Amino acid sequence: MGAHTNPLFTKTVQERGLEMHGLTGCAGTVHLLGPVDVETPGGWHGGLPAQLRKVLAVLAVNREVSLSADQIVKRVWDGDPPESAIQMVRNQVRALRRLFEAFDGDVVERSHGGYRLSAGGVEVDAERFRSLVQEGRLRHAAGDAAGAVRLLTRGLDLWHGPEAMVDVRDVPDLQVEAVGLDELRFQAEEMVAEGYLVLGQPEEALPILRALTTLHQYREWPWLQLMAAQALIGRRVEASDETYRAAQHHLVGMTGLDAPLLAELHRALLLGVDGAELVAMIRRGHGDHPDH
């Protein structure tokens, strides 16, 4: 996902870290939702050396698994390690332990001949994000739009960059994990936008939807939501003309695919269908959407 400015994401990284600690009582955080960095009782640790970031991220995304030094080498160097790779991993583990030395206990544990990030004492922001999105999705499905928006926004507030693990994506396993987190962020943003529309707050949804239609031009749902939001604030002509033509260009002209719901929504706009009914039409048309 490319960089964008969105009113949902205006807090500093430090503020997000404090919020996480307030929620969990945890004293330290590994941040994967942006550049890989660490917060400990001793302060914020950004700009970590490249290999240290990669070893830390591998341990964080495999938190439930004990990885041997050889397994970490295979993941970090993707089958082409230097001769000193095993020793380099051991050095990075020692560096991580020093980084977390303010904790009681060993944050990087030895387990079954390998290493793993301790289940206690350190938070991983990606885990917290997934948990909040899952809770928000359940509220969304249950029809609690306000509760869903609240939880999903808390999850989105944890992001401190446009892409997950943006500085370690040359590691294939981490690239796969990062793309999955980026997709989950997109789904959360979609649900937040829909929540605002259902709550009758289209002005809150508009900046989110403008960002989504800029970054994801070939996805239908944000375009439909944007047209409904514009209609709800009295900009029906803009929705049925400029926005519709842009959506038609990207969804049909550039892909050669059909977009029947887009055409249906456009007809409804021209017929003067009420904005709330437009939102309901989109929701009915996307009843099989993966977020529903």
Mind listing the pLDDT tens digit for each residue in 212-258?
A: 999 999 999 999 999 999 999 999 999 999 999 999 999 999 888 88
The band of 176, judged by pLDDT with boundaries at 50, 70 and 90, is very high
What's the pTM value of the predicted model, to 2 decimals? 0.85
User: How many C-beta neighbours within 10 Å does residue 17 have?
Assistant: 23
Backbone angles phi, psi at 116, to 5 degrees: -155, 155
pLDDT, tens digit, for every residue of 229-238?
999 999 999 9
What is the Cα–Cα distance from 10 to 90, expressed in whole angstroms?
38
The band of 291, judged by pLDDT with boundaries at 50, 70 and 90, is very low
Signed CA dihedral, 47, 4, 217, 280: sign only: positive
Helix residue spans in the chain (DSSP H): 13-24, 50-61, 69-77, 85-99, 125-141, 145-156, 172-198, 202-215, 220-232, 236-238, 244-248, 260-270, 275-285
Residue with tokens 């709330």: 276
The band of 15, judged by pLDDT with boundaries at 50, 70 and 90, is very low
| Domain boundaries along the sequence of the chain | 1-197, 217-292
Distance between first and last Cα of the chain: 22
Which pLDDT score, from 0 to 100, does residue 106 have?
A: 74
What is the Cα–Cα distance from 181 to 164, expressed in whole angstroms?
6
CATH says 1-197 is which class?
Answer: mainly alpha
Tell me which DSSP letter residue 26 carries.
-
* Residue 2, burial from CB neighbour count under 10 angstroms (0-12, 13-18, 19+): exposed
Which pLDDT score, from 0 to 100, does residue 1 have?
A: 36
What is the Cα–Cα distance from 234 to 56, expressed in whole angstroms?
50
Which percentage of the chain shows pLDDT scores above 90? 70
Write the single-letter amino acid at 203: E
Residue with tokens 């990606």: 126
Distances (CA, A) of 168 to 30, 77, 272: 14, 11, 50
Backbone angles phi, psi at 33, to 5 degrees: -85, 65
What is the Cα–Cα distance from 30 to 135, expressed in whole angstroms?
22
Provide DSSP, 65-87: S-B-HHHHHHHHHTT---TTHHH
pLDDT, tens digit, for every residue of 24-67?
445 588 999 999 999 877 777 888 899 999 999 999 999 888 99
